[in-house]
Amino acid sequence: MSTPTLGSSLPDDFTHSAQGTTLRRILGLPALVFFGLVYMVPLTIFTTYGVVTEITGGRTALAYVVTLLAMIFTALSYSFMVRRYPIAGSAYSYTSLSFGPGVGFLAGWCLLLDYLFLPMINYLVIGLFLNIAFPEVPAWVFVVGFVTLVTVLNILGISSVSGMSNLIVVAQLIFVLVFLAMTGKSLLGGPVDFSAPLIGDGSQPGLAPLMAGAAVLCLSFLGFDAVSTLAEEARDPKRDIPRAIVITTLSAGVLFFVLAYLAQLVFPGSQFKDADAAANEVMLQAGGQFLSAFFTAAYVAGAAGSALASQASVSRILYSMGRDGILPRRLFGTLSERFHTPVVAILIISLVSLLAVVIDLATLASMISFGALVAFSAVNLAVIRTYLFSGRPRQRGDLARYGLVPLIGFALIAWLWTSLSGLTLAIGLGWFAVGLAYLAVQTGGFRRPAPQVQFSEHE
């Protein structure tokens, strides 16, 4: 076993593993893109649609343009890093290899905020929607049932996750087509202000509300980075993972913009009876009870798929941190010999997800936003450190590709940082402080080095 130095060249077929058991390389480019899309949930725009529409004064579609601009530069940074280090662990692994294991742990710790609690949001939403449809059944019953189902599928292996993801994406895309058709029909024959989704209704003028809405919408793009956590299960990670990251980001961004734009056209303004349930008002306006019921079914399916994909991703991150020894190796750093999956990590995530029975959506969203922006910032900086300050000879175009692109990505993410709420910052900094304290204990007050990210090379 060897530990590469910063910027070292790794064999194309190397595997990052522990105890001789490895993840299975079975995923191609289509499966990776579908995984990213189902993680993001094509219908996720309707989760925060009402809230962001009120924040921006009816400019949700324009806010998506701002967020996509920031995300595409960051997605390129992820693609650069996964091409150099095609391993599981995402921002944690990239930051560890670029800035050292201590900084890597803190990045990974903050990354856990969005990965660890994103499944919980999906379970919470599933419980709420199904409880409305079947009020005689308590919401917690649906939460426990879906946690159990998703856990079993993840234990069985990534092939079951991939197959289920494909079905869910197809079902949601069918709904999107129906929504587009019924929205177009509802707009025919009446006056339509096609500029309204971009200029708003004037209730929240200026750039600050637009940026505040864009910061919230970062939640919609969580998924392109999740693709990188499957690097050790992709058949050709150096080629397919970077492509899948960029394709997922662009595809989702365009879809989000179109859906938000049409929703604003069919239901103008920024005032709703209930901002959290604004999607129902839009669906009723666009297609009546049929579209509303169709939306509920498709949305619940999408939330289940997102829970499936997000639980798979976070289990790989915990496994990566566990095998490096930064988390207890016996708990997190092992794979099942039968299923070749991190079963213990999956079960621990399932137990945490049961908090969906008691926690509220606003608190979860706050924690996720902070974690996502920390991870995005760290990866942008890691590209600059890895490619421009590693001592390797520079080639023509390196300064633009590995300097300018991640620098723009970092600047845009930093801009979104300024729009986070005080609650988000308080929760995020509190979580960071806990991680820093844990790292201090692990390293004897920072006197000992943190465990290193290691690789095994297989011929």
Joined together, the tokens standing for residue 355 give: 């908090």
pLDDT at 156: 80
Give CA–CA dist 393/379, Å, rounded.
Answer: 21
Residue ranges of domains in the chain: 29-443
Joined together, the tokens standing for residue 397 give: 């175009």
CATH superfamily of 29-443: Amino acid/polyamine transporter I (1.20.1740.10)
Question: In the predicted model, is pLDDT for residue 433 greater than 90?
Answer: yes
**pLDDT range class, residue 410, cuts 50, 70, 90:** very high
Per cent of the chain over pLDDT 90 is: 16
Alpha helix stretches (DSSP H) within 188-236: 196-199, 207-216
- The DSSP string of 285-349 is HHHHHHHHHHHHHHHHHHHHHHHHHHHHHHHHHHHHHHHTTSS-HHHHS---TTT-S-HHHHHHH
Question: In the predicted model, is pLDDT for residue 418 greater than 90?
Answer: no
Least confident of 261-275, 364-378, 396-410: 364-378
Burial class for 88, CB neighbours closer than 10 Å (0-12, 13-18, 19+): buried
Question: In the predicted model, is pLDDT for residue 11 greater than 60?
Answer: no
Question: In the predicted model, is pLDDT for residue 261 greater than 90?
Answer: yes
pLDDT at 160: 55
Q: What is the pLDDT of residues 209-248, one digit of tens each?
A: 998 888 888 878 876 777 876 777 788 888 888 888 899 9
Dihedral in degrees, nearest 10, Cα atoms 389, 393, 397, 401: -30
